[in-house]
Amino acid sequence: MLKCTNIELTVKRNKKQEGNKRMKGNVIVGQSGGPTAAINASLAGVYRTAKDRGADKVYGMLHGIQGLLKEKYIDLSDHIKTELDAELLKRTPAAFLGSCRYKLPEIHENREVYDKIFEILDKLDIEVFIYIGGNDSMDTIKKLSDYAIIFGHAIRFIGCPKTIDNDLALTDHTPGYGSAAKYIGTSMKEIIRDSFCLEYEKGVVSIVEIMGRNAGWLTAASALSRVNGGEGPNLIYLCEPAFDTEQFLKDVQEKLEQKDSVLVAISEGIHDSEGRYVSEQVQSDAQDQFGHSYIAGSAKVLEELVRDRIGCKVRFIELNLMQRCAAHLASATDLEESRMLGMKACQCALEKQGGQMASIRRISADPYRVEYTSVPVSEVANKEKKVPLPWITEDGHDVTEEMMAYLRPLILGEPAMQYENGIPVHIELY
């Protein structure tokens, strides 16, 4: 089991600070955005803390704010009945309550939407609204909190961070990232072993595409395959620097002259100096409702380029959705920190702090110690934290020791999983 001395101390300190503070109304919690291996650990932290601090009802929105607008919600006590249920919830991947990608309009554009939301919340006697999610979810919390302030509603709106992309501002890292990083590092290590098996006359190049639109945190995690002395990827291209296809071909050719098998890790959002995604060669200009372009396909483009220009055996691999919810490779550190942030979100509410997001501040990397704090959600919403350029090597195709020092603690520990008939047991809503 993972030792979390710093976390245990934080729990004791938080209880002392809370004193006799109790919740007077009910709590509602929702999940939004992409699923992760750790999002339900935050939900478990919210539920247990809210109940312990006096909440009569802890409601769960079904499919986030989109479901709430349709009055779809449940009483979590009907589904989390035992400590075993709570423990299973922590270890169950993806969003237990269901998620959504729903963008609230600006208040002045459609006040009726907000009136409806608050009518529902008042009917349920909601004191605290907690939303677990990433950038777009924090935008939702900001808008709802602003509306409450403008029109004199007492409900406190709190954000709880979640995203494998690790791109939320004002938190050292985000729940879900550590587990995704662990999966990526492990997968890269296994791909390397596979690549060594067969010999080709002109060598073989494997190009692995990893999620990351504008922030290369997940791709950087591919370097974790080196932590036990392994070779790791030979080339790593994050999406922060401009990507030059001609330089890429030179880099690959140079590595092929040194070894028979070359492994390349790339962010799906790699782009040229003018901001054009490499994947645009195979993608349409379609966008989601948040205005985000669909950008998968960069590895396929580069595969064809290497085949045509270098002529060696080449293959592309997309980790795709597998990197989001691989609970069988979850980081115990990640799950515990996620639970603690759910608890911190409730603590913010007890301290009458609306419009906040629970946050992690790193005290030290070795030994690894963090504390749980909160930041104004207005300073997080619609902002994006990218990989610092000094953490990328000068040649643009690897990461530095500073990045490795940041990454290593986040993947430590393996949670005790419950198995039946050889398959992990999860808690299910339906």
- Is 285 considered catalytic here? no
Closest CA to 162 of 326, 289, 42, 332: 42
Mean pLDDT of the chain: 91
**What are the residues whose beta carbons fall under 8 Å from the beta carbon of 99, sequence distance 6 or more?**
31, 32, 33, 34, 35, 63, 64, 133
Alpha helices by DSSP H, 196-311: 217-220, 245-256, 298-309
Q: Report pLDDT for 3.
A: 37
Query: Is 324 within 8 Å of 162 (Cβ atoms)?
Result: no
List, in sequence order, every residue forming a beta bridge with 28; answer none if it has no partner: 59, 129
Q: What angle is formed at CA 106 by the lines to CA 100 and CA 108, rounded to 5 degrees?
A: 145
Structure tokens at 13: 């300190």
Closest CA to 208 of 197, 194, 198, 229: 194
125-133 mean pLDDT: 98
The tens digit of pLDDT for each residue in 362-385 reads 999 999 999 999 999 999 999 999
Q: How confident is the model at residue 290 (pLDDT cuts 50, 70, 90)?
A: very low
Per-residue CA distances from 122 to 118, 119, 427 (Å): 6, 5, 30
Query: Is 220 within 8 Å of 207 (Cβ atoms)?
Result: no
Q: How confident is the model at residue 297 (pLDDT cuts 50, 70, 90)?
A: confident
The total number of residues shown for the chain amounts to 430
**261 phi and psi angles, rounded to 5 deg:** -125, 125
Q: Which of 165, 167, 251, 334 is catalytic?
A: 165
Q: Report pLDDT for 8.
A: 37
Percent of the chain with pLDDT over 90: 84
Torsion angle of alpha carbons 162, 183, 232, 396, nearest 10°?
A: -20
Give the C-alpha separation, 258 to 58, whole Å. Answer: 60
Give the C-alpha separation, 75 to 66, whole Å. Answer: 17
The verdict on whether omega for the bond into residue 241 sits within 30 degrees of 0, i.e. cis, is no
Alpha helices by DSSP H, 262-369: 298-309, 332-350
Query: Is 207 within 8 Å of 299 (Cβ atoms)?
Result: yes
Q: How is domain 180-320 classified at the CATH fold level?
A: Rossmann fold (3.40.50)
The tens digit of pLDDT for each residue in 3-49 reads 343 333 344 444 444 446 788 899 999 999 999 999 999 999 999 99
60-71 mean pLDDT: 98
Domain boundaries, the chain: 5-175+329-383, 180-320
Pairing state between β 204-210 and 313-318 = parallel
List, in sequence order, every residue forming a beta bridge with 423; answer none if it has no partner: 420
**What are the residues whose beta carbons fall under 8 Å from the beta carbon of 228, sequence distance 6 or more?**
none
The tens digit of pLDDT for each residue in 203-237 reads 899 999 999 989 999 999 999 999 998 889 999 99
Closest CA to 68 of 126, 147, 111: 126
Collapsed DSSP state (helix, strand, coil) of residue 319: coil
Give the C-alpha separation, 182 to 164, whole Å. Answer: 11
Pairing state between β 356-365 and 313-318 = unpaired
Give the C-alpha separation, 268 to 279, whole Å. Answer: 8
Domains 5-175+329-383 and 180-320 share a fold: yes
Return the beta strands (E) in 162-228 as ranges. 204-210
Question: Which H or E element spans position 148?
Answer: helix 135-150
Give the C-alpha separation, 104 to 114, whole Å. Answer: 9
The tens digit of pLDDT for each residue in 259-287 reads 999 999 999 999 999 999 998 865 545 45
Other CB atoms within a 10 A radius of the CB of residue 427 amount to 18
Closest CA to 328 of 166, 181, 183: 183
**What are the residues whose beta carbons fall under 8 Å from the beta carbon of 296, sequence distance 6 or more?**
209, 268, 279, 283, 318, 320
**Residue owning tokens 């195709």:** 397
**What are the residues whose beta carbons fall under 8 Å from the beta carbon of 256, sequence distance 6 or more?**
202, 203, 205, 262, 310, 312
**Residue owning tokens 């208040």:** 107
Q: Does domain 5-175+329-383 have CATH number 3.40.1370.10?
A: no
The tens digit of pLDDT for each residue in 306-332 reads 999 999 999 999 998 999 999 999 999
Q: Which amino acid, residue 348?
A: C
Give the C-alpha separation, 372 to 1, whole Å. Answer: 22
Q: Residue 1 pLDDT > 70, yes or no?
A: no
Return the beta strands (E) in 89-242 as ranges. 126-133, 156-161, 204-210, 235-237
Q: Residue 289 pLDDT > 60, yes or no?
A: no
